[in-house]
Amino acid sequence: MSTNTVPTQTGAGRRIRDVVFVDGVRTPFGKAGEKGIYADVRADDLVVKCIRDLTRRNPSLPPERIDEVAIAATTQTGDQGLTIGRTAALLAGLPRSVPGFAIDRMCAGAMTAVTTTASGIAFGAYDVVVAGGVEHMGHHPMGADTDPNPRFMSEQLVDPAALNMGNTAENLHDRFPAITKERTDAYAMASQRKLAAAYAGQQIQPDLVPVASRKAGTGWTLNTVDEPPRPGTTTEDLAALRTPFRSHGRVTAGNAAGLNDGATAALLASSDTAAELGLTAKMRLVAYAFAGVEPEVMGIGPVPATEKALRQAGLSIDDIGLFEINEAFAVQVLSFLDHFDIADDDPRVNRYGGAIAVGHPLASSGVRLMLQLARQFEEDPSVRYGITTMCIGLGMGATLIWENPHHPDYSSTAAEDAA
């Protein structure tokens, strides 16, 4: 995304505006299923909690100044249906003048909600938006009630394995034999340990919205932490897990993200509107890109998406000081790191751990990456640029490049752009 102000061809004086990430929150992530913390909680109520908390945390923002609410869900039915962006806005108590819509790009749903509305801000259609996602995989298992067109199989448009994400991860192992099960297990254990350290350092909790839930026989519980983490995981534990997608395979429940429930929401604005309303910019959007790859190896999607975004931004991979990579599968992260010649334990990568430890409620996860990157930017002003990136089902990847407003060169960049 260009940061220069450019008049339109019509001569109307429209300019492309800087887009900033003001704030973001998420619910604690839960395990999907009847034993999970959100088994009896509606998906739309999870989103409502996030929207309400965003407005509470940013009291200088008049609710009527919100121009759009974009909420993603992979399975848009039941309590995730009925144009959830609009219904969640109404349920959250926003003025009825605030519109909303639903969006789907599978795992990159929330990320696409952000880029779509950010484009509207840059164009001048919006000043302030809420963008996020929700996935209640306990209520809506991935792929449930879908009806894939038979042409996918009859015309061999994709390999049947492309419709099962676990199989695509095994295919990625086949393509990159240097990524062994031992490497993926070691990476998974590190993810658990980094998340535990981030919790110990109070780096996760500030962006969590407490959610009350009730179960028959046990009463009410206030959920304030993520349910999936297993901080005591060892490599011996991981080595003993079965490989459900292939006999003698390499992908297990330990080196992949689980099935989870949760919601996220972010507040975005133009930089000038943020300044007008007294809202603090935590990140500036520099560029974003989506790319398609072979569905059979969908996990490689972040590679071309990142290359594309870097070209747009005029940056190289060496300019990136922090990486937030969604850990759908450890092999997917490692294939990205190997491509860019980044070590498995590089301290720039997923400093707070990732989805293997914290969970991956599909369409919500993109904003979780942004929350963590924004907090790391604040902690480390020496880093100027960071990325959030993820693979996407059916063979895609998404990457967003962000700039750190705490970096000493950030203000001079803004001055140059305004000139």
Catalytic positions are: 107, 360, 391
Three-state SS annotation for the chain: CCCCCCCCCCCCCCCCCCEEEEEEEECCCEECCCCCCCCCCCHHHHHHHHHHHHHHHCCCCCHHHCCEEEEECCCCCHHHCCCHHHHHHHHCCCCCCCCEEEECECECHHHHHHHHHHHHHHHCCCCEEEEEEEEECCCCCCCCCCCCCCHHHHCCCCCHHHHCHHHHHHHHHHHCCCCCHHHHHHHHHHHHHHHHHHHHCCCCHHHECCEEEEECCCEEEEECCCCCCCCCCCHHHHHCCCCCCCCCCCCCCCCECCCEEEEEEEEEEEHHHHHHHCCCCCEEEEEEEEEECCHHHHHHCHHHHHHHHHHHHCCCHHHEEEEEECCCEHHHHHHHHHHCCCCCCCCCECCCCCHHHHCCCHHHHHHHHHHHHHHHHHHCCCCCEEEEEEEECCCEEEEEEEECCCCCCHHHHHHHHHC
